[in-house]
Amino acid sequence: MLRAGLSVKTLWQLMEMKTKTCLKVHGRMADLQHAMGAFRWMSSVRPAPVLTAAPVRALIDEQISIKGRFLPPNSPITLCSRMHSEDGDLWEAFAHYNTDASGSFSLTSDRSVGGSYTGCEPMGLFWGLHPPPGSREGLRLRKRNVETPYTVHVSLLEGHISPSGGPITELAAVTTERSYMAPGVRRIDIRQNGIVGTLFLPPGPGPFPAMLDMWGMGGGLNEYRSALCASRGYASLSLAYFEHKDLPGPLRELNVGNEYFKSAFRLLQDHPQIVAERVGIVGLSFGVYLTLNLATQPGINPSCLICINGPMGRSHFLPGDKGEVKYWNYDERGYIAFRQISLPSNMAPEYKVKMEKINCPLMYIIGEDDLSSASTENADQIEEELRAAGKSHLFTRLSYPGAGHLIEPPYAPNARVTMWRIKPEKMVALFGGYDAPHAAAQEDAWRKILCFLESNLRG
- Contacts with another protein by CB under 8 A lie at 1, 4, 29, 32-33, 36-37, 40-41, 44-48, 50-51, 55-59, 70, 151, 153, 155, 169-177, 179, 182-184, 203-209, 233, 275, 278, 458-459
What radius of gyration do the chain's Cα atoms show? 26
**246 vs 277, beta carbon nearer another protein:** 277
Cα–Cα separations (whole angstroms), residue 86 to 92, 151, 175, 198, 435: 14, 11, 17, 20, 22
Q: Which of 213, 236, 303, 405 is catalytic?
A: 405
Beta strands in 297-426 (DSSP E): 305-308, 329-330, 336-337, 362-367, 395-400, 417-421
**370 an active-site residue?**
yes
**153 an active-site residue?**
no
Shortest reach from residue 362's CB to another protein, in Å: 22
Q: Which of 370, 372, 373, 435 is catalytic?
A: 370
Amino acid at 135: S
d(CA 27, CA 47): 31
Shortest reach from residue 53's CB to another protein, in Å: 9
Q: Which of 116, 231, 236, 285 is catalytic?
A: 285
Backbone angles phi, psi at 273, to 5 degrees: -100, 15
Shortest reach from residue 65's CB to another protein, in Å: 12
Shortest reach from residue 331's CB to another protein, in Å: 41
**230 vs 292, beta carbon nearer another protein:** 230
**143 vs 391, beta carbon nearer another protein:** 143
End-to-end Cα distance, the chain: 58
For residue 210, count CB atoms less than 10 angstroms from its CB and return exposed for 0-12, middle for 13-18, buried for 19 or more.
buried
d(CA 426, CA 418): 11
Shortest reach from residue 204's CB to another protein, in Å: 4
Backbone region of residue 320 per phi and psi (left: phi > 0; alpha: psi in -120 to 50; beta: other values): left
Catalytic residue list: 285, 370, 405
